[in-house]
Structure 1
Amino acid sequence: MSDVELHQLLLAPLERKGEQTLQQQLFQRIKQAILAGKLTAGTRLPATRQLALEVGVSRNTVIAVCAQLQAEGFLLSDRQGSHITHMAQLPDDHAQYVSSEIALSPRIAQLRSSHRTFSQEMALRPGIPSLAHFPLAQWRRALNRVMLHQPQQLLGYGDPLGERTLREALAQHLALARGVRCTPEQIVITEGAQQALTLCVALLSNPGDIGWVEEPGYRGAKAAMRLGDMRIEPVAVDAQGLVAGPEKWQQRTPRLIYTTPTHQYPTGAIMSAPRRLALLAAAREHQTWIIEDDYDSDFRYSGEPIAAMQGMMQPTPVIYIGSFSKTLFPALRLGFMVMPAQLIAPLRPALHELLRGGNRPEQQALALFLRSGDFSRHLSKMRRLYRQRQATLRQALQHTFGMQVPLLGGDCGMHLVLSLAEEHNDMAMVDRLIQSGFAPGALSGFYLGEQKQQGLVLGYGNTSTSQIMAGVAQLARLLRGD
């Protein structure tokens, strides 16, 4: 580069009132010129005093820029001054490289295939609780109390398994509300149920092991198994839950089984007691671990609550997982897993390596929330609200499509499934509904096999009565072809 070209490159005016300081602008100008190959290896910069005069900045500014360029390895200094170091240059086809198709792991491609982009709070979206009815005042009081009494102690890392106070309160709640048999030592606090699933796969399986999932079933469980390089085996679900006969065990013996026995997701089926006991017995015989996801069983609307499968047999082959995303709010990102007692000692060292014990103020506040009774009162209020919203949704569907409209679920949770005839494309219908402000799930997206039922998973937890009516009306227009 000639001296004239060098001066033209370096001496272009700097913005005196720009967002960046003069020092930052000059540094970026020289750095980008080097990366773009305009300042080649060996090119000498003017002396700092000369450069400062020509650019119109103080010499200290130039000295600071050169010092930073030297620190990052762009410049070398000797007795004759500073010169550009030798380094690899970005290729001429850099733009083409950025825009070209990036080779991804097949696991990532599978995860992308069912992804839909939409607002997290759109009406009819399943799995979202009523955020407007969350008791913010009580939650704020619990957080303030925690931060008032022990703010500094909670700023560092905590117990990797979770705050002791929360594990104690949670063990008591699970015993009373869900029939779970455990001690606080068996509970591991996680960042949501998805982390619990990922941990189960990482700790209890090897690549190539078989994992059973419900068909149709929760996509997050399949994602966790895919990331663990497991071979996923879909197992059919009927009105009594997972259908796992002896021949299935003999042909495709699993290392892990993921199931939602108390409220199957998404169909709403309840696994019968004989099925549960048979599954537990077979799991013990084949040294298989069952992941029981009890994601929304706190919201049951008819009869007494159905106890968790984990409490039916001791010692148990069940890892019981749950979260507070459905009962409180998703952004809390607090979940848990109840490990079988026989796994705690061998897995504790690995858990200490994988977990860091964060969200300590929130964990302490949640413990207070549980012990004060605020959590139970909130659940009672939400049961009444969701029962009412489900009735509204059911009545709107029956009024629009007839009393014999095919619906699945309804005894529990925050969604109903509307079955559709085979000629309908539920994926395309969901895309159309998203454009109108509604985000139900496509039932076919919960299947792995070739046989897929068409339908819509209609969430009502965070959907008001007016939104329910508008959503059903829009659905009717789509089905009529309007």
Structure 2
Amino acid sequence: MQTAALHEWIQQELQRAGGSGKHAQPGALILTLVRRAVLEGVLLPGVRIPSSRELAKELGIARNTVVAIYDQLKSEGMLVAGHGSGTFVCRMQDNLRPDPRPCAPLPGTDAWSTPPSPGQIRPIGFSHRGLSYQRHPVHQFWRPQPFCSGQLDLNLFPLATWKRLQRRHLTPDDASCLETGEPGGALELRQAIADHIRTTRGVRCRPEQVILTDGTVESLELITRLLTDPGDLALLENPCYWGASHVLNDHGLTTSTLDVDQNGLPVPEPGQIYRPPRLVYLTPSHQFPLGHVMSLGRRREWLDYALTHDTILLEDDYDSEFRYIGAPIPSLQGMDNTGRVIYMGTFNKSLYPGIRMAYLVVPPQLAALFAAAASDFYRDGDVGQQRVLADFIKEGHYATHIRMTRREYGLRREALLAALRESLLPELVDGRLKISGGAMGLHLALCMAREADDCAMAQATARLGVSVMPLSVYCVGGTLHRGLILSYAAVPCDQIPLLIRQIAPTIRQHLAQIPAPSRVRYPYGAG
């Protein structure tokens, strides 16, 4: 480029970007463009560039702006001032310039598996863990449509009460809510949680044992960081919450699985797994996703096993607030006298997903280190929000909200059960479909014979505007379960029958393709 034409190139680039040389803040734009001209070889090494006076006049900007640009580029080593002879482009090393060679295909494409051809540059690629996350089938089925998992009816949330409590903690003369907070979380919220779960779940703990996190995944990450080493064995339920299996695998643990039955995850028989696990991930109050409840006898078996084999039991109590039949089931942690259970809870499913507030309860001897590590690794702590939630619990608003939503979600559960029986009665009667997990929680599992293509069904229902999750995407080894997960919390009662009638022909059509002799063959414990 002739240096006299530098200003013309800058004007063209500004116009292409939708601006002009008379921009309100031209310095940053022109600095970027001159830097580009040097890096991309538009201005060649050793070339004299226009004086600051000349370029300022051509661009119609203040000379001081151009002087500042030149000074910045000199400090970056791109320009150099001659002795009375002007300013020149530095002779940079070749490895500082962008390489003009074409790029190899992006990671994830078929061509990525082959080496780049000569002259190509391979871009940054995902790790095996990144590709594993990217390719997990759960992502292709999640859509914000009716029956989509993880959604709540936010119209049921007492927003006026919440806003009133927020105003209480955002007074002009108190900026403490802007701090990161103390390790482990705001003490008033930890106290409120300890009191609440002691009363409602039978959890035995003091406030300092409660560690605040932003969700179950973060709770699992913190446990894995502090209590395991790479290569340790973790035992999982099959099927299982996909986030748990990913966290444990991503931290270098070896994972093994056992199929759940009607009583939850069975204790391993001798020789069934090659060594005792360091961790066991359990959802005893409402197995995810099949919905089974772990029996009292099975819970005692697990506590005995954990004590004998120095195993840590992780109790994920993700939606125990929503039980519609019978009394609430006490926690596994409340039965533990030896400190082998770590209890995990969350408000993301009982209040609203965006609150990002969860917690774990650890044995007393672990509390101080867990609190410090949670602060160091994650810097969690919207102190104002934590104080609001503490008041929300202590003043009884949380209990009132749970009673109201439990009543409403119970009605939606009944509406869904009635709609399934109305629209898919023949398939339910002859055993091609089986409803699982209806006593509590916010979803039902519609189990099918293992020959059913639940992924194809989910794709077909998505085209009809209904988002269901295939049961098979939660399988992590062992028996392959087939079925559909229907989450009903965000679907009003009056819409449920219509939506089920809408997707019933698609489900019936897919089930009709299963050979008659196989129609009643279910995985063990799928009922």
Q: Which residue is 1:270 aligned to?
A: 293
Change (3 A) 1:250 1:231: closer
1:477 Cα deviation after fit: 2.7
Indicate which of 505, 509, 513 corresponds to 1:477: 505
The question of 1:162 aligning with 2:190 is answered: no
Q: Which amino acid aligns with 2:211?
A: V
1:73-102 superposed Cα distances (whole Å, 9 cap, x missing partner): 433334343333315111113555668745
Q: Which residue is 1:138 aligned to?
A: 161
Taking the aligned partners of 1:448 and 1:59, their CA distance within structure 2 comes to 66
1:239 Cα deviation after fit: 0.3
- C-alpha contact (below 8 Å) 1:315/1:340 kept by paired residues: no
1:104-137 superposed Cα distances (whole Å, 9 cap, x missing partner): 2222222222242577642101232221211101
1:388-434 superposed Cα distances (whole Å, 9 cap, x missing partner): 00111111111111153410011110000011233432122222323
Q: Secondary structure at the match of 1:196?
A: helix
Taking the aligned partners of 2:52 and 2:26, their CA distance within structure 1 comes to 15
Change (3 A) 1:18 1:288: farther
Q: Secondary structure at the match of 1:242?
A: coil
The question of 1:418 aligning with 2:446 is answered: yes
Q: Which residue is 1:90 aligned to?
A: 98
Q: Which moved more, 1:302-311 or 1:66-75?
A: 66-75
Q: Which moved more, 1:132-141 or 1:415-424?
A: 415-424
1:149 Cα deviation after fit: 7.5
1:20 Cα deviation after fit: 6.4
Taking the aligned partners of 2:106 and 2:24, their CA distance within structure 1 comes to 27
The question of 1:104 aligning with 2:109 is answered: no
Q: Which amino acid aligns with 2:444?
A: L
The question of 1:228 aligning with 2:232 is answered: no
The alignment's C-alpha RMSD in Å is 2.4
- C-alpha contact (below 8 Å) 1:188/1:336 kept by paired residues: yes
Taking the aligned partners of 1:318 and 1:248, their CA distance within structure 2 comes to 24
Q: Which residue is 1:285 aligned to?
A: 308
Q: Which amino acid aligns with 1:285?
A: T
Q: Which amino acid aligns with 1:225?
A: L
Q: Secondary structure at the match of 1:419?
A: strand
Taking the aligned partners of 1:327 and 1:171, their CA distance within structure 2 comes to 17
- C-alpha contact (below 8 Å) 2:145/2:466 kept by paired residues: yes
Taking the aligned partners of 2:272 and 2:211, their CA distance within structure 1 comes to 30
Taking the aligned partners of 1:178 and 1:55, their CA distance within structure 2 comes to 71
Change (3 A) 1:396 1:454: same
Change (3 A) 1:48 1:318: same
Indicate which of 13, 24, 27 corresponds to 1:23: 27
Indicate which of 37, 40, 44 corresponds to 2:44: 40
Q: Secondary structure at the match of 1:416?
A: strand
Q: How many residues align?
A: 482
Q: Which residue is 2:9 aligned to?
A: 9
Taking the aligned partners of 2:465 and 2:172, their CA distance within structure 1 comes to 44
Indicate which of 49, 55, 68 corresponds to 1:51: 55
Change (3 A) 1:76 1:345: same
Matches within 5 A, 1:72-83: 72-79=76-83, 80-83=85-88
TM-score (norm 1): 0.93
- C-alpha contact (below 8 Å) 1:121/1:462 kept by paired residues: no
1:63 Cα deviation after fit: 1.4
- C-alpha contact (below 8 Å) 2:286/2:293 kept by paired residues: yes
The question of 1:242 aligning with 2:242 is answered: no
Give the unaligned 5+ runs of structure 2: 113-123, 511-527
Q: Secondary structure at the match of 2:203?
A: coil
- C-alpha contact (below 8 Å) 2:445/2:486 kept by paired residues: yes
Q: Which moved more, 1:426-435 or 1:413-422?
A: 426-435
Taking the aligned partners of 1:332 and 1:95, their CA distance within structure 2 comes to 42
Q: Which amino acid aligns with 1:60?
A: N
Q: Which residue is 1:311 aligned to?
A: 334
Q: Secondary structure at the match of 1:246?
A: coil
